[in-house]
Every structure is written in structure tokens, then in C-alpha cells.
Chain A
Amino acid sequence: KAGVTQTPRYLIKTRGQQVTLSCSPISGHRSVSWYQQTPGQGLQFLFEYFSETQRNKGNFPGRFSGRQFSNSRSEMNVSTLELGDSALYLCASSLGGTAMDTQYFGPGTRLTVL
């Protein structure tokens, strides 16, 4: 079974621009979660989608948004980029997104904001 894939792997943007990151979950997985990882803040939860609906949202400003498509693929968008948005963005998929389900992570998208 193919793992979680994320595109692009690396991205360089400038302040004020917007960016869209993509995540394809493991086949059959309906839950997709997004995390931001920075050296100072560790892994921080952004949001979780299940069957095209956002079920949970972390403590991030409205510039961060996402969506999930009917095939469970998910995208996250960051508008009006700030320098502090430079981070590794990780996507994780799980079968049902319940507490007992293991989350399987993708390789991440490393975003650099200049």
C-alpha cells in the first residue's frame, strides 16, 4: 500500500504570498490531519478533516485553512504568508480518525518564507 504523499516537498515563498499544500492519504483512510512543526514550537495541530468535513481545528489564525475532497485528498492553504510561517508541514492520515487509530505521516512540505 502506498504511504501518505505530500506535494510539493519544498517551497520558497515571499511574505504576503499565499501557498497551497497537498496531501494524499493512504488508500481507504478517511481522516486527514495537518500539523506544523517548527524548532521552537514542536508539533502543533492545525486541523483534521473527515469525510470532507473539518472536525477539529487547532489554535491558528484564519489565514490557515484547508479542505478535503471526496477522494479524501486534502489541501491546506496559507494566505498572506508571514516569516513565522516557515516550517515543516506534516500531513497524517488514519482510517477513521479516532483516538485508537494510528496516524501515518507523510514526508512533509518544507516551507520557507523570505
Chain B
Amino acid sequence: AQKVTQAQTEISVVEKEDVTLDCVYETRDTTYYLFWYKQPPSGELVFLIRRNSFDEQNEISGRYSWNFQKSTSSFNFTITASQVVDSAVYFCALSVFNTNAGKSTFGDGTTLTVKP
């Protein structure tokens, strides 16, 4: 069975601080996919990134960066110079190869509050 743990339930930072959201996953499969989604107060989950298990390269997109480490089963997300608009709930999700959409496992989410 798969499991995704986002141990940080809530994080509060002041604007311009850097913040890292942790995601630890468990799976026995060797081929899998990891996702991050952002859910602003409006409710819609917005896709941020997908990473497959064979690609351990870190990714940077503007102020966002992701650190994927298979050795620690972690896929952490860092926001540099946070802004108020980054306030949202962030979800990490795991999908295992040869399963379909319904088998995705979502973490419980981390609520990030960025104060001005």
C-alpha cells in the first residue's frame, strides 16, 4: 500500500522568507510518480509539478524548487522569497505505475500562511 505523509499541518511565515514543505512517501514499487498541487482559498487544486521515480533531478521554476531524494523517500517543495499569494494548502500525491487515476494517494496537505 502507498502512503504520503505531510507532517507539517500548518506553516506560517512572513513575506520574503523562504519556506520548505516536506513530503515523505512510502511505496514498494520502483516506478511511480509524484505530484504537488496548490489549493488556494478558491478551492481549485492547481497542478504544480510531476516527477517520475527515475528522474531525481531537482527542478526549479521561478521561486519554486523541488528536491526529490529517493534515498530518503522525500519530495520536498521550497518557495523562495514567499509572497502573500503563496498562501494556500499544498498537497503532495503519489501514483504507482500500472494503476489508474483512482489509485493516487494524497497527503493531508500543508496549510501555508504568508503574512505581509
Cβ-defined contact, A107 with B43, below 8 A: yes
Cβ-defined contact, A98 with B100, below 8 A: yes
Cβ-defined contact, B52 with A56, below 8 A: no
Cβ-defined contact, A42 with B109, below 8 A: yes
Question: Is B102 in the interface zone, CB < 8 Å from A?
Answer: yes
Q: What mask results when residues 87 to 116 of chain B are scored 1 for a CB within 8 Å of chain A, else 0?
A: 000010001111111111010110000000
Closest to B98 in A: A99
Cβ-defined contact, B33 with A105, below 8 A: no
Task: State the CA gap A67–B9 with chains docked (Å).
Answer: 35
Question: A45: which of B44, B47, B98, B104 is its contact (CB, 8 Å)?
Answer: B104
Give the interface SS of chain A, mostly helix, strand, loop or mixed.
strand
Question: A99: which of B42, B100, B106 is its contact (CB, 8 Å)?
Answer: B100
Cβ-defined contact, B102 with A55, below 8 A: yes
- Size of interface on B: residues with Cβ below 8 Å to A: 26
Question: A48: which of B35, B52, B97, B101 is its contact (CB, 8 Å)?
Answer: B101
Question: B101: which of A57, A88, A98, A108 is its contact (CB, 8 Å)?
Answer: A98
Task: State the CA gap A43–B104 with chains docked (Å).
Answer: 11
CB proximity of B5 to chain A, nearest CB, Å: 12
Residues 5 to 38 of chain B near chain A (Cβ within 8 Å): 32-33, 35, 37
Task: State the CA gap A31–B103 with chains docked (Å).
Answer: 13
Cβ-defined contact, A99 with B102, below 8 A: no
Which residues on A sit within 8 Å (CB–CB) of B104? 45, 99, 103
Chain B interface (Cβ within 8 Å of chain A)? 32-33, 35, 37, 42-47, 50, 52, 91, 95-104, 106, 108-109
